[in-house]
Amino acid sequence: MSPDMSPDAALDERTTAPPRAALPPFQPPLADLGPAFFSDIALHPLPQPHWVGISQAAAQWAGLPEGWADAPEALEVFTGNRAHAGSVPRASVYSGHQFGVWAGQLGDGRACLLGEWLRPTDEQRIEVQLKGSGPTPYSRMGDGRAVLRSSIREFLCSEAMHALGIPTTRALCVTGSPAPVRREEIETAAVVTRLSPSFLRFGHLEHFSANGQTDELRKLADHVIDRFYPEARSPQAGVDEADKAHPPPTNAYAALLRLVSLRTADLLAQWQAVGFCHGVMNTDNMSLLGLTIDYGPFQFMDGFDPAHICNHSDHQGRYAFARQPQIAYWNLYALGQALLPLIDSQEAAVAALSVYEQAFPKALQARMRAKLGLTKAADGDRALMDDAMRLLAAHRIDHTLFWRRLASAVEGDTEPVRDLMPDRAAFDAWFERHLAALAGQDLLATAAQMRRVNPKYVLRNHLGEQAIAAARQGDMSEVARLLQVLQHPFDEQPEHAALADLPPAWAADIAISCSS
């Protein structure tokens, strides 16, 4: 208000000025669970916060009002510097198996649940969590912080995965601060705001089971069922009675295990089909909702290699690309073990989780069939798929470019995909079989369909590195541009075609470890 304004004029100004978008108030997170499941924590402000990236798509998904990021408090709230209305900051406790070994208690060591929003359109609860917001009772020896590079990677990849149609936690924004954070070298701090209907992991249930806290175990399982798997309350519903190998679940908890196994099978099929390597598939990084969660040393493969290890710290290759589906199954066993006190028998638990054995290959074959443009299943499909992957593996052919260019080949433009192939004769022989399998289909429509499942743009490591390098110099425009392109991964976007090119030679030397 300017000093010479009368009170009436000031009132007029207030009513005619564009409305300031306020952030909706939070409701306390995990409120129906109680203190055995989390600790109330303090905020740990960071100095001089600034915006690094904002996803308006995530904001829209969460039902935030337009202009939310301009709300005067937004930057402070999403850096963890200021408590927002209704916020009760909490860190949850979980345990887990890390690299195949029981690791005991872990918990949100650098994550803080600010609260929940009720999405206006459908009343879906959305949890709002900061990552890198400072120490919690579960930080163990850690500083509770995250660095700029890993925060940008998580932000971009969460939103890229969502745009690819792959279940994932979302990322609303990243903020940065000049505060130093020590890793291999001194870096600067950043905070990612993550959104998800739930951040609960296999490790949450493992925690209470391993501690013999059966009442808490049941309470948590009931919470998951009531919120996310209400169909588990009718355990026999929707189960194929003719499937003698998998007798119907005997109770709601066996049904929960079965449903989580089915979602996990579908998730893994999607990862494998797009060439995504998670890198740290510990049970504490496995979502009970079947979402991709905890982006660390992940990678979208460039040259296809089934043995590819994207995590520099994974010396044994436990989480190599081709092992991911088997590791997910191992993790489901750990979840089944955790749920045993609530399930009548070991046999019932094994029957519930072993649906994965059929569901995963079935889901993967459906995805691969779509990638190949095949509209219906036929006898030779499997061999055609396997041989395509063998062709790629033999010469580390670029995974994303191969599938995208295959769509053009189906339309008659075979040279671009042949250009990727050192052994053209082998490709030509395979492609003849592919065309034979497509016989009778409209090839133009098929190619268009293939482009809707084979992305042109994925978050290759070198693209992330370039955006990070610019951000470190204070230029956030590359983060914004990359986000925008990755939000439409199936569109041609010719003006950004360079982002779909083969990686430069230096990309092979990028080493991403667990350190973040």
145 sits near ligand AMP (criterion: CB under 6 A): yes
In the bound state, the residue with its beta carbon closest to ligand AMP is 142
**Catalytic choice (284, 294, 302, 305):** 284
What is the 3-class SS of 171-200, one letter each residue?
EEEEEEEEEEEECCCEEEEEEEEEEECCCC
Judge contact between 134 and 43, C-beta under 8 A: yes
Smallest gap from Cβ 72 to Mg ion, in A, equals 33
Smallest gap from Cβ 240 to ligand AMP, in A, equals 36
Judged by DSSP in three states, 368 sits in helix
46 sits near ligand AMP (criterion: CB under 6 A): no
The 57-96 site mask, x for binding ligand AMP (CB under 6 A), equals ----------------------------------------
DSSP string, 472-493: HTT--HHHHHHHHHHTSTTS--
Q: Which residues contact 480 (CB under 8 A, 6 or more apart)?
A: 53
Alpha-carbon span 117 to 68, nearest angstrom: 14
Smallest gap from Cβ 194 to ligand AMP, in A, equals 13
In this chain, which of 280, 372, 486, 512 binds ligand AMP, going by CB under 6 A?
280
| The residue type at 396 | R
The partner in contact with residue 106, picked from ligand AMP, Mg ion, none with C-beta cut-offs of 5 to 8 angstroms by kind, is: ligand AMP
Query: Which of these ranges, 108-116, 241-249, 269-277, 485-493, lies near ligand AMP under the rule CB under 6 A?
Result: 108-116
C-alpha to C-alpha distances, 192 to 177, 323, 367, 491, nearest whole angstrom: 12, 29, 31, 27
Question: By CB under 5 A, what part of segment 279-318 binds Mg ion?
Answer: 285, 294
Q: Given the complex with ligand AMP, which of 137 and 503 has the nearer CB atom? A: 137
Q: Given the complex with Mg ion, which of 116 and 294 has the nearer CB atom? A: 294
Q: Given the complex with ligand AMP, which of 30 and 385 has the nearer CB atom? A: 30
Across the strands, what pairs with 182? 186
108 sits near ligand AMP (criterion: CB under 6 A): yes
Of 479, 120, 150, 484, the residue nearest 298 (C-alpha): 150
Smallest gap from Cβ 89 to ligand AMP, in A, equals 15
Q: Given the complex with Mg ion, which of 151 and 285 has the nearer CB atom? A: 285
Judge contact between 430 and 377, C-beta under 8 A: no
In this chain, which of 45, 73, 143, 219 binds ligand AMP, going by CB under 6 A?
143
502 sits near ligand AMP (criterion: CB under 6 A): no
Question: By CB under 6 A, what part of segment 281-300 binds ligand AMP?
Answer: 285, 294, 296
Q: Write out the two tokens for 78.
A: 């999403």
Q: Which residues contact 61 (CB under 8 A, 6 or more apart)?
A: 162, 170, 195
Q: Which residues contact 403 (CB under 8 A, 6 or more apart)?
A: 371, 450, 454
The partner in contact with residue 290, picked from Mg ion, ligand AMP, none with C-beta cut-offs of 5 to 8 angstroms by kind, is: none
> Which helix or strand (DSSP H or E) is residue 96 part of?
strand 95-98
Question: By CB under 6 A, what part of segment 119-138 binds ligand AMP?
Answer: 138
Smallest gap from Cβ 205 to ligand AMP, in A, equals 15
Q: Write out the two tokens for 163.
A: 């745009």
The 177-206 site mask, x for binding ligand AMP (CB under 6 A), equals ------------------------------
Judge contact between 91 and 130, C-beta under 8 A: no
Q: Write out the two tokens for 74.
A: 């937004």
Alpha-carbon span 344 to 393, nearest angstrom: 45
Q: Given the complex with ligand AMP, which of 181 and 343 has the nearer CB atom? A: 181
Question: Can 284 be counted among the known catalytic residues?
Answer: yes
Of 84, 128, 129, the residue nearest 108 (C-alpha): 129
Smallest gap from Cβ 194 to Mg ion, in A, equals 12
Smallest gap from Cβ 127 to ligand AMP, in A, equals 16
Q: Enumerate helices (H) and strands (E) in the chain, giving the number of each.
A: 17, 12
139 sits near ligand AMP (criterion: CB under 6 A): yes
Judged by DSSP in three states, 423 sits in coil
| The residue type at 422 | P
- Which residues make up the interface to Mg ion (CB under 5 A)? 285, 294
- Which residues make up the interface to ligand AMP (CB under 6 A)? 106-110, 138-139, 142-145, 280, 285, 294, 296, 514
| Catalytic machinery residues | 284
